[in-house]
Amino acid sequence: MIVDTLSSGYCPGGESIFPSPSKGITMNVGTTIIKCRHSVRDFKSTPVEDHIIRDSLDCARLAPTAMNLQPWLFGVIREKKLLAAVADLTDHAKFIAGAPVCFAVFGERSAKYYLEDCCAATENLIIALQAYGVGSCWVAGEKKEYAEAVRTLLGVPDQYCLVSLLPAGYPADITIQKKKDEEDISFFDRYSPG
Ligand SMILES: Cc1cc2nc3c(=O)[nH]c(=O)nc-3n(C[C@H](O)[C@H](O)[C@H](O)COP(=O)(O)O)c2cc1C
């Protein structure tokens, strides 16, 4: 299905996230961008502009971190051969080869909360890219056997560990996943089953 994620108003469950006077919903740019995000694995060949990459990296580095350590390193892969080589190393992300750009988020192993910190940065990257209409797909890193091979391929020192890969580009095709309902996965004050 080809969808313009920002203008379609598609959100999990297929409901519109645009204002509905009858439901008393008002427009919020930030939450709209978040709700329009879907993993994208099929990209147009159009390059992602430098200023978008830079601004997204800027958003990544502003993510919260434990003790404000900012224990990370962000790689930006654009060379076709390198993209293909990274894709080849992965098990469930061969589509990286078809992305115009792939971010690689590395964490400093010595920082106790590097995983949480780098996940926060990854999500900031995803949302910043989405704000420009650039789709992406979080690809696992830290728990994967290929993590060390990707690090070595990119020449990153071993004080760092690959946390995530994020292939990105303008969407050619998007799959909309079903999501759990908010009331089924939340509670206020004290939990009660059922
Ligand atoms: C930690 C993590 C690892 C993931 N790894 C992969 C992956 O290796 N390959 C892939 O195609 N998608 C991967 N995904 C994307 C998920 O499949 C996707 O987020 C999920 O199906 C929900 O779809 P949505 O992102 O469109 O909401 C990963 C997502 C997360 C958060």
Nearest-atom number in ligand 1 for the CA of 175 is 26
In this predicted structure, what is the pLDDT of residue 21? Answer: 54
* Residue 186 confidence (pLDDT): 96
* pLDDT tens sequence across 58-82: 999 999 999 999 999 999 999 999 9
66: CB partners within 8 A, 6+ apart: 111, 112, 113, 116, 117
Calpha distance 35→18 (Å, rounded): 10
Q: Say which residue the tokens 């750009």 belong to.
A: 101
The DSSP code sequence of 105-120 is EEEETTSTTHHHHHHH
The per-residue pLDDT for range 82-99, each reduced to its tens digit, is 999 999 999 999 999 999
Q: Could you say which residues of the chain have pLDDT below 70?
A: 1-25
**What's the whole-model pTM score?**
0.90
Cα of 137 vs centre of ligand 1, distance in Å, is 6
Tracing tokens 């080849």 back to the chain, one arrives at 88
Please provide the DSSP assignment of 2-14 as one string.
---HHHH---GGG
Per-residue pLDDT tens for 136-150?
999 999 999 999 999
Residue nearest to atom 7 of ligand 1 (CA): 139
Whether 143 is in the pocket of ligand 1, judged by its Cβ within 6 Å, is no
Instruction: Determine which helix (DSSP H) or strand (DSSP E) holds 84, and give its type and residue range.
Output: helix 80-89
Rounded Cα distance between 135 and 168, Å, is 6
Q: Would the CB of 93 count as within 6 Å of ligand 1? A: yes
**Residue 1: predicted pLDDT:** 43
Domains (ranges, CATH) in the chain?
A: 1-36 (no CATH), 38-173 (3.40.109.10)
Length of the chain: 194
Angle, helices 50-61 vs 114-131, to 10°: value is 140
Classified as helix, coil or strand, 27 is: coil
Work out the number of other CB atoms within 10 angstroms of the CB of residue 193. 4
Nearest CA to ligand 1 atom 8: 139
Q: What count of Cα atoms within 13 Å lies in the side-chain half-sphere of residue 53? A: 18
Give the span between the Cα atoms of 194 and 184, in whole angstroms: 9
- Do 111 and 69 meet the contact criterion of CB atoms below 8 Å apart? yes
Q: Mutate which of 35, 39, 90, 102 to test ligand 1's pocket (most atoms within 8 Å of Cβ)?
A: 39
